[in-house]
Structure formats: C-alpha cells, structure tokens
Amino acid sequence: MHSVNPAQAFSLKDRVAIVTGGGTGLGFAMASCLAASGARVVITGRRTEVLQQAVAQLGANVCAEQHDVTDLESAPALLERIEKRHGLPAILINNAGVHVKKTVEEHTLADFHTILATHVEGAFAITRAAIPLMKRAGSGSIIFIASMSSVMGLPLVVAYSAAKSAYLGMTRSLASELGPHNIRVNAIAPGWIETPMLAKALTGDTARTNKILSRTPQNRFGSPEDIGWAAVYLSSPAASFINGVLLPVDGGASIGF
C-alpha cells in the first residue's frame, strides 16, 4: 500500500523542476509556486535579460538556463547542464509557446509550422531528453500546459488549437508508457487568466470580456497563481496516483452555459 505523510503531501522539497518559458506570465507564476513549495526551479527561455529579471524577483530557489525550445537538437545538452549544475530533474513543465490569431485564410503554412514546431516538437524534444534522467531518479512528473482550445472550439486560432490538442494525445500516450517507471504525465488547461496577454487581447473589447465572464460560473478571471498551485499539486506526493489526466483550471468555463 502506498501512503503519503500528510505533512509532506504537497511538499516539493529539494526536487529539481524545469519550467520552459518560465520568465513571464504563467511560467513565472508556476516557478514561483513551485519554489514556494520547496522545489529547486530552473526556468528556461530565449531571452537572457527576461530570465535574469525573473530570477531576481523569484529568489534563491530559482535559476535560469537560456534555451530555445525550437532548437530541437540542443535539448539533450540542456538536460545535461541541468543535471550537472542542479541534479536529476523530477518535474518538467512544458509551458513555452507562441500564439497566432488570424482567420484560417490568413493563417499561412509558415504560421502553422511555427506554432506546431514550438509547442509540439519543442515539448517533445525536451520531454524525450528528460525521461532517461527521470528513470534514473526513479520517479518524475511531466506536465503539459494545454488550453481551453484543447477542449472547445475557439475561432481564429486553428494552429494553436491543433498544437494544444496534440498535447492531450502526448499526455495520454506518455502516461501509459511511463507509468510503470513511476513517471506521471498530466496536462493543465488554463481558462481565462489575468495576464498581460489577456489584458492586451481584451482591451477595448467589452463584448468579448462579457461573453467570457458570462460562460464562467465563477464570473471572474483566474489568477496566474491558480495555475501555479495546480502544477504544484500535480507534481506533489498528494497526486501520486493521478496520471494521464487533463485538469481544467478555468472557474468552470469548460462546463458552463
């Protein structure tokens, strides 16, 4: 029988966590919550200055490694550096991504490829590189940051929707394959969260703001920390038998009417 010490159920003490795209937005919030729960967090991203600013704000439990997820061949070297400098990773959060909002006619093949290369190929490359290290460590938690577009039809984001929906297939397949190695794989689908990106998207668009709130039973936007604490839970001993699921963190938007 597997039992969890209640005092340690949500502790990530001394676990090495990697958050891609961790310098801003949801990645920053997840890094903050993981660090607050005791993890030693490595944030990655393309922009060194952004990473340095984030580390200065996040504190001693967080450090940075510059990495572009679209540079697929460099993923093994990133994991080697992390192991050498920080230890074997126990947590990987695939959060890095880009967004294109256009009609389907305006979406170019280059747009489509860029979105899939960043989200799907980039996440696959770093996950593939992390798995042998997690196997050596004897356990692991991998989280894909999905989207409302993974579970409902949203207009003007066909490439983004395709990429985020692919995360669900990756989550289920990897959960089945890696479960015997005590490596759990799950996904989080954030709802409408108060970030600079959302503020930019909704500025001056009262109708869209009201539409989002009207279909969200809690009648408000979420905070970035709502996603952060969900990531802590899925990575913690408390979730030791949670594997292969998509967890919406959306105030009920995905089931609201």
pTM: 0.96
30-39 pLDDT, tens digit per residue, is: 999 999 999 9
Tell me what pLDDT residue 109 has. 96
Side-chain-side CA neighbours of residue 92 (13 Å): 29
- Is 167 designated active site? no
243-252 pLDDT, tens digit per residue, is: 999 999 999 9
The domains located in the chain, with CATH, are 7-193+226-247 (3.40.50.720)
- Residue 27 CB contacts under 8 Å (≥ 6 apart), including other chains: 19, 20, 21, 43, 45, 93, 95, 96
Based on the number of CB atoms within 10 Å of its own CB, is 153 exposed (0-12), middle (13-18) or buried (19 or more)? exposed
Tell me what pLDDT residue 225 has. 98
77-105 pLDDT, tens digit per residue, is: 999 999 999 999 999 999 999 988 899 99
In the set 40, 69, 158, 160, the catalytic residue is 160
Q: What tokens appear for 9 in the block?
A: 């159920």
What single DSSP character describes residue 221? P
